[in-house]
A and B are shown apart, each in its own frame.
Chain A
Amino acid sequence: MKERAFAVELKIPDNEAYTAMRALQRLGVEVARVQRADILVFNREESDERLGEIIERDERLFNPNKHRLERLLDMHPRAGEVWIEMLDAPRSAPLRRLVGWRLFDHAGNPLGDADLDAACARLLCNPAIERAIR
């Protein structure tokens, strides 16, 4: 079975991302924009279309009124992006839920590795319970 990932992102103002940005700025991280998404990683037989339907039907995962859904072609975070996963989440579950954070600098570019590391260590990831996937 091949793992497939989907990103569910708010299309209305994301107050959590906004709060994260302000907190990171307070911590001295040079960040100008923060995007947040629920990353849903499937380890199931169904086709991509079918998985998309499963997400769209489940109100706890997706609400067309406030979310947009994207099938991720890459199973890894992009530049400037980190995925946070609970350490005790079973790795083999048919659906794993992670949180994706994507940070941008003042020039609109994805944040560099050093700054992203700092953002993870100081706020985005609690290593007692979470791992940061880069």
Chain B
Amino acid sequence: MRNSSSNCRRGPSLPDLAVAELDDEALRARADSLGLALRVDELRSIAERLGRAPSLVELYAFDAQWSEHCSYKSSRALLGRLPTSGPDVVLGPAEDAGILHLGEHEGERYGIVIAHESHNHPSQVVPFEGAATGIGGIVRDVLCMGAEVVAVADPLRFGNVDPANEHQRAVARGVVDGIAAYGNAIGVPNIAGDCYFDRDFDDNVLVNVVALGLVKESEVIHSRVPRHGADFVLLLVGKATDASGFGGASFSSVALDAQEAQSNKGAVQVPDPFLKNVIMRASYRVFSVLRERGVEVGFKDLGAGGIMGCSAELCSAGGFGAEIDLDTVNVAVDRLLPEVIAVGETQERLLWALPEEIVDEVERIYNEEFSLPQVAQNARAVRIGRATAEQKYRLRHRGELVMDVPIDFLTGTVRDTLPAEAPVPPTMRREREILCEGTLDDLFHEILAHRDVCSRAPLYRHYDAVVRGRTVIPRGEADAGVLAPIRGSRLAFALSVGGNPRIGRIDPQRAAELAVYESARKVVAVGGEPIGLTDCLNYGSPRDPRQYGELVAGVDGLARAARGFGLAYVSGNVSLYNAAANGHAIPASPIVACVGRLADVSRCVTPPLKEVGSHLYLIGETQRALGGSVLASILGLADEAAPEIDMERVVSEHRFILAAAREGLLQSARAISNGGLLVTLAEMSFGCVAARRAPIGIELDGSVGWSSVGRNESLFGEWGGIVVEVARGDTERFEALAESLESVREIGTTTAEPLLAFEDEAWEIADLQRSWSRPLEELFP
């Protein structure tokens, strides 16, 4: 029976869940039949706090809000270990996106807004739409900070795409098509990303998405109702709410099996990039009106938990409650259940909190000037409720109060304390170098053609890398993409991603450290000074102590490396329950994005070799540590240790490289990553399409000390480092600048003959390019 303290009147169509009257087993069964992922103890705590039986709408609201996806209940405590502040941090990870200080132009401070998320489960179920809505969602996170969206990136992890594996191939293609279809249509260039293929992702691909925006720091809009915002109007903007995406938040918080994958198709939202394109432009117009009027407002993306999740967080972050009338919501179909309107995750929606005096003008911009209702049926801006001084979250439907809960209880921190088992990584360091059967020639070609090494062009040529006309280095032409986002300014930023699942499999902590190092190194290689990071933590089940232990180790690794580099995380995301059908977790996959600053875009460095007769230098320390390398995977070496990072040394190396870039001493540069040094050199030699320049040859010095750890370890080890080209006339200045840095060694010169020559070998560059450029063509024709 209803508790007398309740003022929640509901119609007969909405039975409450009599939590108190059911035993644990019956309660679980009832919750399961309702599709609720809430645990029994959580259900009881809700009923207890409300002092009555919760309504169905309330249950679905808590189900979404307390899901792992929304609450980070298994990871929040860990995330506190990450550094989140620093001189370049304008806004840390508290809102929909973080902000880094890019620089000043004409007296204005400009920030780079960045958000990083996963859309792993949806992309496994419906690859095209799952990936497309991943881009759609991350773009809204950046847009709602008042920023112009200027770039996206997509770190991807696919399964084994051998020709026989039709399903894995179809998923990979669908994901790439979905990212392309969405990003291209909204007109945001895709400038960075990476891609690995591994059978441990056969049942659970990883689709991470990153979006960047540009904002004047004085014009940031926060994801909260402003301090004076009592009675602010909540204005919902976008697509008409439909039944798609009901159950999304809880759905992405459970492990998938094949059966569920089918039945969960309904939980995946339907993307509409065309509508988003118009909403983005209309929102830019609204931003300029708000600036003119000097009005402070709140703006937030609708993601997990739909209208309920967004409005509750927007209001509670400002210290307010909310009251919303679900009947005012623009819907696509009649007779939608109130819980579907409240928590369904229909795409392409945002929520404003606006003072009354500006609401009509904003509505007019969306509905008339940008004619949303003509762009998609019943898309529009509508008033749905208000922020309230009273700390309650209330929803009405057909005149009935269907939800009435304390707002801090709904949005408050839920934390689970979980047992963790620390991973034990291999520590084997061989006394002697690895000797391979077969010739060096065969091995080199095999590595160049490896799916994790070869050209990604067949994949990224699906993406528009140059729309908006501000791209400096497009996707694939370097390790990081570079963009000069401000008209009339030489300020530019670089963006890269890092994370190697082969290392994640053997050493979760080192994998996280190396992901940070990789992303920072790639930014440095184009002349960008790293200014901040984002992270997406893709792991298995937090309920499994071993898998949870990997997450703990990963967070520790991220924290240690970021502190070593003096960098902070301004945004991030946690994706748990990533597992194969047989319950095996995916390899620990911390994926990091790094933003770099270029004060003067003309000092940006690109990888293609520039001229004959230059000197090549390696900046970095070789190691006898093949763990996680492509070579180890080809040779089947499972017990090798992963490389270590000497943080202090690497930081000095990066400082030196950036100084050399600023002085104009670097003709070209490239970070060493998958496949190792020889692959990096080959990629630099392939010529330059932009400059219409033919390949340039390389003669490597076989006698220098860098081969002391062993030939294969030097040539194919993945211990990091950067290769640079210095013009003949600049070597003295370059070496003087290097001063006492010991890890700078000359390793060869560039030659007119298109050969990569080393010891007795002289590879035709055209042959190397052939091996490297084609392997993915059959997958992405």
Q: Is there a direct interface between A and B, measured as CB atoms under 8 Å apart in the complex?
A: yes
A interface, CB within 8 angstroms of B: 12-13, 15, 18, 22, 58-60, 63-66
Q: Are B376 and A63 within 8 A (Cβ)? A: no
B633 touches A (CB below 8 Å): no
CA A66 to CA B271, docked complex, whole Å: 11
Cα A3 to Cα B475 with chains together (Å): 44
Residues of A within 8 A of B375 (CB): 15
B66-74, B123-131, B195-203, B575-583 - interface stretch? B123-131
- Partner among A12, A13, A18, A59 whose Cβ is within 8 Å of the Cβ of B126: A59
Is residue B779 contacting chain A, with contact meaning CB distance below 8 A? no
Return the chain B residue nearest A10 by Cβ.
Answer: B270
How close is A50's CB to chain B, nearest CB, in angstroms?
16
Residues of chain B with a CB closer than 8 A to A58's CB: 170
Q: A60-B128, A65-B270, A66-B270 are in contact. Are A22 and B374 (CB under 8 A)?
A: yes
Q: How far is the CA of A63 from the CA of B170 in the complex (A)?
A: 14
User: Which residues of chain B in 332-375 are interfacial with respect to chain A, using CB atoms and an 8 Å cutoff?
Assistant: 332, 374-375
Bin the interface of chain B by size. 20 to 34
List of A residues within 8 angstroms of B377 by Cβ:
13, 15, 18
Instruction: Point out the residue from A15, A22, A59 that lies within 8 Å of B127, measured CB to CB.
Output: A59
Neighbouring B residues of A59 by C-beta, 8 Å: 126-129, 170, 174
Cross-chain contact A15 with B376 (CB below 8 angstroms): yes
User: Contact between A63 and B126 (Cβ–Cβ < 8 Å)?
Assistant: yes
- Asked whether any CB of chain A lies closer than 8 Å to the CB of B265, the reply is yes
A12 and B332 contact, CB distance less than 8 A: yes
Contact A65 B266 (CB under 8 A): yes
Q: Which residue of A lies closest to B269 (CB)?
A: A65
Chain B residues within CB distance 8 Å of chain A: 126-129, 170, 174, 177, 240, 242, 244, 265-266, 268, 270, 272, 274, 332, 374-378
A8 CA to B681 CA, complexed, in Å: 51
How many angstroms from the CA of A58 to the CA of B170 in the assembled complex? 9
Question: Beyond A13-B242, A15-B377, A65-B129: 13 further Cβ-contacts under 8 Å?
Answer: A12-B242, A13-B332, A13-B377, A22-B374, A58-B170, A59-B129, A59-B174, A60-B177, A63-B129, A63-B265, A64-B266, A65-B265, A65-B270
Which A residues are CB-close (under 8 A) to B272?
A: 15
With A and B bound together, what is the CA distance between A15 and B276 in angstroms? 14
Inter-chain contact A65/B244, CB cutoff 8 Å: yes
Q: Which 3 A-B pairs have the closest CB atoms?
A: A13-B377, A65-B265, A15-B376
Chain A positions within 8 Å of B174 at CB level: 59-60
Report the Cα distance A18→B274, complex, angstroms: 14
User: Min CB distance, B378 to chain A, in Å?
Assistant: 8
Chain A residues within 8 Å of B126, by CB = 59, 63, 65
- Given the complex, which residues of B lie within 8 Å of A13, measured CB to CB? 240, 242, 332, 376-378
* A12 lies within 8 A of B128 (CB): no
Most B C-beta atoms less than 10 A away, residue of A12, A58, A65: A65
Q: Which residues of A contact B376 (CB under 8 A)?
A: 13, 15
**Chain B residue contacts of A22, Cβ below 8 A:** 374
A16 (CB) vs chain B CBs: closest residue: B274
- The complex places the Cα of A69 from the Cα of B240 at a distance, in Å, of 24
Bound-state CA distance A28–B398 (Å) is 41
What are 18 A-B pairs with beta-carbon distances under 8 A? A12-B242, A12-B332, A13-B240, A13-B332, A13-B378, A15-B272, A15-B274, A15-B375, A15-B377, A22-B374, A59-B126, A60-B128, A60-B174, A63-B126, A65-B129, A65-B265, A65-B268, A66-B270
